[in-house]
Amino acid sequence: MTHRSSLYELHRSLGATFQEVRGWDLPGRYQDPIQEHRAIRESVGLLDLSFRALYHVTGTERTRFLNGLLTNDINKLEEGQGCYTCLLTPQGKILADPEVYALRDYHLLELDAHCKEQALDHLNKYIIADDVAFEELEDHTLMALQGPAATTLLQRLLPGTALPLGEQRCIELTLDDHPCRVIQASITGEEGYKIVTPRERAANVWQALQAAGATPVGMAALNALRLEAGIPWFGVDFDEGNFPQEAGIEDRALNFTKGCYIGQEFVIRIAHRGHVNRRTSGLTMQHEPIPRSGDRILREEKEVGRITSAALSPTLGKIIGLGMLRRESQEPGTVVQIERNGESVPAEVTPLPFYRRATG
């Protein structure tokens, strides 16, 4: 059974075509996904992120508890600051890749809804006599405002308000007379924000942002945008069978100097070895068909990996994708073949990200 966002009826009134994402009916597109893509690259777009689950983590021992289970240094987070991290099995495999934000009276935990049950089961298993509790924010909605004009739009709606300064900074404020948490976070390679608002007020906040100039954007455009930015997704490009280094997220998600945490022994062992045998890698193709997840990647007729996701890149004018490639085939410029329906299409291993926004 799929869930419906609190914005479902509003999306439908805007002409959205829906698709299932992690058990949620979400807009695949509103009109032309290439135009939606362009809105975020050139101006500002608005997205429904209901496929992400939110939790309050409370209790006097929450910081110590989270730091002993997550791969990044939760102890170092100041109030209003967040980080990307991983929750690992004792064998070092990824159970979830949440984002954690330290606020005055609690921590905010954001993760893919697809893995929330196994993640919470794992966390609760380690609560012995610890003063810590997890509460899902089912009465809240998460949306995102992305694009080079995102800050300008919010400043216009919130004159005189100090917005969060720095990636993964979080503040609480009032937007269109409704309480919200605003997090500076890029999920597309452009500057942007995530906005957490009470479920019953979500439609009002969405309409206020849209009226201020934000273009509604669906999942088809978001998928192409995040691929261009080289952002792998849990449950799509990596899963419970992967180490963080295989997913290519160690620079953002791992802290190698903090104290012990569950799964650390395997993470450190891999770091000392210097490499993993397979890793998320970028691929570019000059012509269709667009590969699908699971398509074989061949080199000299030998399988060297599998496609995890792919899309047409409007920015680059070519097909791009991510694949889990064996180490001997990861060198940029390596030519491989993507096998699909008995046919093969040439592809070239390409450094990530495919796209990086201009700065300055």
In a domain, 360, yes or no: no
Q: Which amino acid is at 62?
A: R
In a domain, 183, yes or no: no
pTM: 0.96
In a domain, 67, yes or no: yes
Collapsing DSSP to helix, strand or coil, 128 comes out as coil
Number of domains the chain contains: 1
Q: Half-sphere exposure of residue 133, counting CA atoms within 13 Å on the CB side?
A: 6
Residue owning tokens 């937007």: 175
Q: What is the pLDDT of residue 175?
A: 81
What does 150-173 look like in DSSP terms, one character per residue?
HHHHHHHHSTT-----STTBEEEE
Q: What is the pLDDT of residue 179?
A: 82
**Residues of the chain where predicted confidence (pLDDT) is lower than 50:** none
In a domain, 177, yes or no: no
Q: Which two tokens stand for residue 29?
A: 């597109």
In a domain, 58, yes or no: yes
Q: Please give the residue range of the domain that contains residue 78.
A: 54-136
Q: What is the mean pLDDT of the chain?
A: 96
In a domain, 96, yes or no: yes
Q: Which two tokens stand for residue 278?
A: 């397979």
Q: What is the CATH number of the domain that holds 114?
A: 3.30.70.1400
